[in-house]
Amino acid sequence: MAKMTMVQALNLALQQEMGNDDSVILLGEDVGVDGGVFRVTDALIDQFGDERVLDTPLAESAIVGMSIGMAVYGLKPVCEIQFSGFSYQNFHQIENHAARFRWRSQGRYNVPMVMRTPYGGGVRALEHHSESREVYWAHTPGLKMVIPSGPRNARALLVSAIRDPDPVIFYEPKAIYRAFREEVPEKEEVIPIGKSQIVREGQDLTLIAYGAMMRPTLEAAVTLKEKHGVEAEVIDLLTIAPLDDELFVQSVLKTGRAVVVHEAPRSFGAGAEIITRLMEKAFYYLEAPIERVTGFDIIMPLFSREKAYLPDAQRIVRAANKVMSV
Amino acid sequence: MPRNEINIPDKVEYISILNEDGELDKALEPEIPEEFLLRLYRTMYLARKFDERLLSLQRQGRIGTFPPISGQEAAHLGAAAALLPADWFVPAFRETAAEIWRGRSLESVILYNNGFNEGVGIPEDSNDLPISVPVGSQILHAVGLAWAARYRQTDAVAMAFFGDGATSEGDFHEGLNFASVFQAPAIFLCQNNHWAISYPRSKQTRSKTLAQKALAYGMPGIQVDGNDILAVYAAAREAVDRARSGGGPTLIECVTYRMAVHTTADDPKRYRSEEEVEQWKKRDPIARFQNYLIDKGVLSEDKITGLDSKIGKEIQSAIDRSEEQMKSLGNPIDMFEHTYAEIPPYLKEQKEAFARELAEKGKEEDHG
């Protein structure tokens, strides 16, 4: 096994899937010769040629709309939108068409495409380069919304996303693209879409997070144990939609307490849905009101203030202690 | 520094083959077998009669709102007639005559216009897309389909339909640009019917023609008398042949007119004059084609009378069949179908809860 960054692991997933299946086509801005601005598609054009790795003109709607046509034909396009902040220029193609073709054609056509895009703060970038708007997609029937949290699960989830018969929005937490390495097996590995994972076991409290927020959440779990004697169970959602409520509901039935963490704005965020499911399925087991640690309901600040905006371990520990104090 | 003219060698042609009286420009007459000509005529005639019947059904409250096609039969049918069955047909929502030509049943149109999406179910052996409502957005799908057809080394092409209003949408420009950059075997068929609901073609763009917009993207653009089916067919045939043989995409502007309402929810008296509509009546595509066929000796008044009665029966039986079919389509639980390949757990829970609600409602009604 090789130690890889998330960028390298995603590249491995693309390279292997392209090798396995000639219906996998990459397209997007700078994905070919340049290998993507974050180098996720590095050197794939050398191996597969410009018929399989398409550098496109600068137009998000066309990148996605063309992908939809390819997918309806039966290919498996994986398109890259350079930053999620620019994906609103193709929002209508995903909402009006990618998500609906199966339904509209009564099952005759499906759209097995993946829209990969980096999201989230923490890289000191310009406006539109740092936000988290996963719920736009998660709120759209017909779509799947996936967010990995590390190199190994990123690779395994991207393979599943490419093979999925429905359109998958694949958000890549750019803050951790190169932040750490993990062992990633050369041999094929998949994680089913729609399944979350317990990444740390505990019985006092359940912490639910995903994407780049997994690191501060796990850090908080360590602090909670070491400084406060609290054993937190940590759940990595991995898929935002369709949301796997089984695992976190089981966990809260055991712990009776929960904190949900996301960097996206607070109101109507994934936390609102997670907490509602807990109200529906675990209400009588709750020992304390559920807390959420989230971004604020403001425009993502420019980078001089983004650290203040983003949830960190300290903020998560504070919320956990509040929940534990009831 | 000099200030020189850049020589852009492109031009836009206009084609018309049949004039308003159905008189022919012999030199331009395309070679079309008689049987094919009669099939075209029959489809136009059927589509017109069907359109009129749908309008009356809508006024009686027997179907919902729909977009009539009257006046535009030649523009979309003439283009679709240049396609082979394996080609990709990418409609907007005002191409009913072309859809009928491609094999869509009349009852499916009625079902759809009655709020059942079963009506746009596409048969397994068809390469037609369901109608697309968001204006211009489907243009990009034709680019992807065309690209994919070439990638798979087939000789299929894709033809996207849209109106004059769509040429103001970003997706039109992005689509033409991508198609040209990738030399996708695509044909962009604009039905310029002069009105985007209440907004006239003259205000939609300051360009003299819509066809010339192709030139900016490095592809041929041609303007056609869209009420002349021979001209539309000839232009489409040329574009399809070019795309099929690797020559890249074409934009065709069919100059036509929407004789009826935008949809049945619209009142055109608010924005256009009766005189204008009267002017266009004289250019009716069916009358013009009919005169041509009679002059050619392949059609007669007798044949038209016979056809009229056959088509009347065909439409009536489609209405009867669709009304019969709708009786078995009432179950609202079916709305959960086809959202995903496999229904996710929480959606399954919602569906089951809804099924229980339906059952309880049924019981209450039985006892009520």
CATH code of A226's domain? 3.40.50.920
On the question of pLDDT at B58 being above 80, the answer is yes
| Final residue belonging to a domain, choices A126, A155, A184 | A184
Distance separating alpha carbons of residues B31 and B19, to the nearest angstrom: 18
Flag if A62 and B123 touch (Cβ within 8 Å): no
Of the candidates B121, B156, B135, the one whose C-alpha atom is nearest the C-alpha of residue A109 is: B121
Q: Is the pTM of this model over 0.80?
A: yes
Same domain, A106 and A236: no
The answer, for B338 touching chain A at a CB cutoff of 8 Å, is yes
Of A73-77, A319-323, B125-129, the least confident: B125-129
Tens digits of residue pLDDT in A196-211: 999 999 999 999 999 9
Question: Does some domain include residue A51?
Answer: yes
- B178 in reach of chain A (CB within 8 A): yes
In this predicted structure, what is the pLDDT of residue A132? 97
Task: Note the pLDDT tens digit of each residue in B306-339.
Answer: 999 999 999 999 999 999 999 999 889 999 999 9
**Do A234 and A176 belong to one domain?**
no
Angle at CA of residue A218, ends A212 and A223, nearest 5°: 135
User: Residue B230 above 90 pLDDT?
Assistant: yes
Same domain, A71 and A156: yes
Taking the C-alpha atoms of residue A298 and residue B103, their distance in angstroms, rounded to an integer, is: 53
Q: Pick from B272, B239, B285: which is nearest to B18 by CA?
A: B285
* A260 interfaces chain B, CB cutoff of 8 Å: no
* A51–B contact, CB cutoff 8 A: yes
- Mean pLDDT (whole number) for B279-292: 96
On whether residue A41 sits in a domain, the answer given is: yes
The answer on A136 and A108 residing in a single domain is yes
With a pLDDT cut of 90, the percent of chain B lying above it is 90
Listed in sequence order, the residues at least 6 apart from B243 whose beta carbon sits closer than 8 Å to its beta carbon are: B146, B157, B185, B186, B187, B249, B250
**Residues of A with CB below 8 A from B345's CB?**
194, 242, 244-246
Lowest-confidence pick of A238-252, B108-122, B247-261: B108-122
Which of the listed residues A149, A184, A219 is the one where a domain comes to its end?
A184
Structure confidence at residue B368 as a pLDDT band (50, 70, 90) = low
B175 contacts on A by Cβ (under 8 Å):
62, 65
Domain check: are A178 and A203 in the same one?
no
Is A152 inside a domain boundary? yes
Q: Are residues A167 and A140 in the same domain?
A: yes
Strands A258-265 and A205-209: parallel
**Residue A154: predicted pLDDT:** 98
Q: What is residue A1's predicted lDDT score, i.e. its pLDDT?
A: 75
Reply yes or no on whether B76 is catalytic.
Answer: no
Burial bucket for residue A293 (CB in 10 Å: 0-12, 13-18, 19+)? buried
Q: What is the pLDDT of residues A36-70, one digit of tens each?
A: 999 999 999 999 999 999 999 999 999 999 999 99
Q: Which domain holds residue A203?
A: 197-324
- Closest partner residue to B341 (CB to CB) among A66, A166, A246 is A166
B153-166 pLDDT tens trace? 999 999 999 999 99
User: Do A150 and A214 belong together in one domain?
Assistant: no
- Does the pLDDT of residue B271 top 70, yes or no? yes
pLDDT of residue B123: 81
Is A150 found in the same domain as A13? yes
Q: Which residues of A touch B138 (CB under 8 A)?
A: 97
- Domain count within chain A: 2
A129 is catalytic: yes
Rounded to an integer, what distance in angstroms lies between the CA atom of residue B106 and that of residue B96? 9
Q: Which of B94, B102, B262, B283 is catalytic?
A: B262
Lowest mean pLDDT among A80-84, B23-27, B316-320, B341-345: B23-27
CB-based contact, A96 to chain B, within 8 Å: yes
Q: Kindly state whether residues A113 and A254 are assigned to the same domain.
A: no
Q: Which residue of A has its CA nearest to B175?
A: A62
Whether residue A151 is found in the same domain as residue A81: yes
End-of-domain residue from the set A123, A150, A184: A184
Per the CB < 8 A criterion, the answer to whether A177 and A38 are in contact is yes
* Region A229-244 average pLDDT: 98
- What is the pLDDT at residue A82? 97
Local confidence band at B21 (pLDDT 50, 70, 90 cut-offs)? confident
Distances, alpha carbon B146 to alpha carbons A18, A66, B178, B232, B320, in Å: 21, 9, 11, 21, 38
Q: Are residues A141 and A280 in the same domain?
A: no
Can you tell me the distance from the alpha carbon of A128 to that of A254, in angstroms, rounded to the nearest whole number?
A: 40
Q: Is residue A190 part of a domain?
A: no
Contacts of B339 in chain A (CB under 8 A): 102-103, 141-142
- Within-domain flag for A67: yes
Can you tell me the mean pLDDT for B50-54? 97
Position B124 scores a pLDDT of: 83
For residue B223, the cross-strand partners are B14, B253
Q: Are residues A33 and A112 in the same domain?
A: yes
The mean predicted confidence, pLDDT, of chain A is 97
Q: Which amino acid makes up residue A13?
A: A
CB-nearest partner of B145 from A73, A92, A165: A73
- CATH number, position A172: 3.40.50.970
Does B15 have pLDDT greater than 90?
A: yes
Query: Which value does ipTM take for this structure?
Result: 0.97
Per the prediction, chain B carries an average pLDDT of: 95
Query: Tokens 């009831």 appear where?
Result: A326
Q: Is the peptide bond before A242 cis (omega within 30 degrees of 0)?
A: yes
Give the CA distances from residue B142 to residues A21, A326, B92, B154, B246, in Å, rounded to whole numbers and listed in that order: 23, 59, 11, 15, 16
Query: What residue type is assigned to position B170 of the chain?
Result: G
Which of A92, A128, A129, A228 does the annotation list as catalytic? A129
Res. B353: pLDDT tops 80: yes
Assigned domain for A189 exists: no
A286 lies in some domain: yes
First CA to last CA distance, chain A? 45
- For residues A225 and A232, the answer to whether their CB atoms sit within 8 Å is yes
Min Cα distance A217 → chain B (Å) is 26
Give pLDDT, residue B117: 87
Q: What is the mean pLDDT of residues A131-160?
A: 98
Q: How much of chain A, in percent, has pLDDT values that exceed 70?
A: 100
Is the Cβ of A65 closer than 8 Å to some Cβ of chain B?
yes
Q: Is B360 a residue whose pLDDT tops 90?
A: yes
